[in-house]
């Protein structure tokens, strides 16, 4: 706590009349009184001179009074308005110089010319009074600033002391309290913040994993769709190829049947072209496939003279161009070979082929596959 300094005389003394009068005569008041006396004399002298110049009357006295009152007015403005003090002082010096010049010109050549310095002297004294006023104001402002600074310092010291006392009280309360301290609360808040971050991170990672799984599923679905479309296209192509193969086989069979009919017709025609008395064929005599094998010898006819060579001839038929009619045995061997070849091609992929796949690959029916494929080779 701040200790007060003990004074040597604690009882205040009552002010006396002498001390009050001495306190009234300040330096500033003395300077003002010293400047007021010459100013009054200057007023009378300038007014008298102006009346002599202009003439005795109200106008002359008014002009003289104005010349000196102008000096006092500038001093009064500078006294009450510190902001324009310099400008008012310059105006007062100009008015004093004008009044002195007026007096000097009017009394030039006489002993009264010295009184021209009266207005200038009066202005000089007023200038000293203004300087004293300025110095006093500066001291006053400095004292006020020092007092304010001291008061502010005391206030800050008092606040610091009060704050220190409050801090001490709070420390005592914290020492005796079971509540959490600020540091402990901050630590718990940090732990909760980390827990919230961990939960948010886990949720974000789960979302990322789900999104990646969904993307993988969509890619697998797209691959499966593409594979399905490819297999459907291949199946369609195999079906079309099988259809073309079946149509080609049917066309070949129709062509073989047509050729067989033509061959039968040709053999019948060759049989009819034999001589009437030749009789049937002996032993294993076979009807030639080529009409050129028939000799051109004369044929006997029933009227006792040889029959001339017939004018109509059958064109030669190449045996290689006439297809053989497939027998049931050759057809079965061909189907069996096709089924076994299809099984080998499909089994080369590593999996046991099914009956449907073998039938599609061989271009035969499922019944044909079941007929020619051994049971141990069926999928």
CA nearest to 254, candidates 302, 328, 323: 323
Average pLDDT (279-291) is: 47
Answer whether 51's CB lies under 8 Å from 61's CB.
yes
User: Residues 342-377: pLDDT tens digits?
Assistant: 888 888 887 788 888 888 888 888 888 888 888 777
Domain for residue 224, yes or no?
no
Is 337 a member of any domain? yes
In-domain check, residue 249? no
Cβ pair 99, 68 in contact under 8 A: yes
pLDDT for residue 148: 92
Contact 263, 290 (CB under 8 A): no
Work out the burial of residue 121: count CB atoms within 10 Å of its CB; fewer than 13 is exposed, 13-18 middle, 19 or more buried: middle
Q: Which is higher by pLDDT, 36 or 325?
A: 36
Domain boundary among 117, 150, 183: 150
Is 321 domain-assigned? no
Residue 127 lies in a domain: yes
pLDDT for 16 equals 47
Average pLDDT over residues 257-281: 74
Give the integer Cα–Cα distance in Å for 260 and 266: 10
What's residue 166's pLDDT?
92
In this prediction the pTM is 0.33
Is residue 141 in some structural domain?
yes
Question: Between these two residues, 247 and 68, which has the higher pLDDT value?
Answer: 247
335: containing domain = 331-379
Banded pLDDT at 285 (limits 50, 70, 90): very low
* Reported confidence tier of residue 39, pLDDT bands at 50, 70, 90: low
- High-pLDDT (> 70) share of the chain, %: 63
Tell me: the pLDDT tens digits for 151-208?
Answer: 999 999 999 999 999 999 888 887 787 778 788 889 999 999 999 999 999 999 999 9
Instruction: Compute the mean pLDDT over every residue in the chain, rounded to the nearest whole number.
Output: 74
61: exposed, middle or buried (Cβ count in 10 Å: 0-12, 13-18, 19+): middle
109 or 333, which is more confident?
Answer: 333
Which domain-ending residue is among 134, 150, 166?
Answer: 150
Is residue 248 a part of any domain in this protein? no
| Nearest one of 332, 337, 333 to 362, comparing CA atoms | 337
Q: Check residue 10 and give its pLDDT.
A: 42
| H-assigned helices in the chain | 17-24, 27-54, 58-80, 85-106, 117-176, 182-272, 328-347, 355-362, 366-372
Q: Domain count for the chain, please give it.
A: 2
* Any domain includes 12: no
Percent over 90 (pLDDT), the chain: 18
Mean local confidence (pLDDT), 323-343: 72
Average of per-residue pLDDT across 47-57: 63
Q: What's the pLDDT tens digit per position in 222-258?
A: 999 999 998 989 888 888 888 888 888 888 888 888 8
Residue after which a domain boundary falls, among 150, 177, 194: 150
């Amino acid at each position: 706590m701040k200790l007060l300094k003990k004074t040597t005389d604690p009882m205040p003394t009552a002010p006396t009349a002498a001390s009050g009068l001495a306190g009234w005569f300040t330096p500033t008041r003395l300077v003002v009184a010293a400047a007021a006396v010459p100013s009054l004399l200057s007023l009378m002298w300038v007014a008298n001179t102006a009346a002599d110049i202009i003439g005795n009357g109200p106008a002359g006295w008014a002009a003289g009074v104005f010349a000196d009152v102008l000096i006092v007015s500038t001093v009064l403005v500078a006294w009450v308005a510190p902001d324009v003090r310099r400008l008012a002082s310059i105006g007062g010096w100009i008015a004093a110089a004008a009044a002195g010049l007026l007096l000097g010109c009017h009394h030039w050549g006489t002993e009264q010319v010295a009184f021209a310095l009266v207005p200038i002297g009066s202005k000089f004294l007023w200038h000293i009074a203004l300087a004293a006023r300025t110095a006093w104001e500066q001291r006053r402002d400095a004292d006020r600033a020092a007092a304010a600074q001291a008061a502010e310092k005391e206030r800050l010291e008092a606040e610091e002391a009060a704050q220190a006392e409050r801090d001490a009280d709070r420390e005592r309360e914290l020492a005796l309290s079971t509540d959490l301290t600020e540091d402990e609360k901050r630590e718990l808040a940090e732990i909760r913040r980390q827990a919230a971050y961990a939960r948010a991170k886990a949720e974000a990672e789960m979302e990322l994993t789900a999104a990646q799984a969904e993307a993988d599923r969509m890619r697998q679905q797209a691959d499966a769709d593409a594979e399905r479309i490819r297999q459907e296209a291949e199946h369609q192509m195999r079906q079309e190829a099988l259809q073309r193969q079946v149509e080609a086989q049917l066309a070949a069979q129709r062509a073989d049947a047509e050729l067989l009919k033509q061959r039968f017709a040709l053999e019948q025609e060759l049989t009819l072209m034999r001589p009437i008395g030749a009789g049937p064929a002996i032993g294993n005599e076979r009807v030639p496939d080529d009409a050129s094998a028939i000799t051109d010898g004369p044929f006997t006819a029933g009227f006792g003279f040889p029959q001339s060579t017939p004018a109509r001839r059958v064109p030669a038929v190449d045996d290689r161009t006439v297809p053989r009619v497939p027998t049931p045995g050759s057809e079965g061997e061909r189907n069996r070979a096709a089924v076994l070849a299809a099984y080998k091609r499909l089994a080369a992929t590593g999996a046991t082929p099914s009956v449907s796949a073998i039938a599609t690959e061989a271009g035969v029916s499922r019944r044909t596959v079941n007929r020619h494929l051994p049971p141990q080779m069926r999928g």
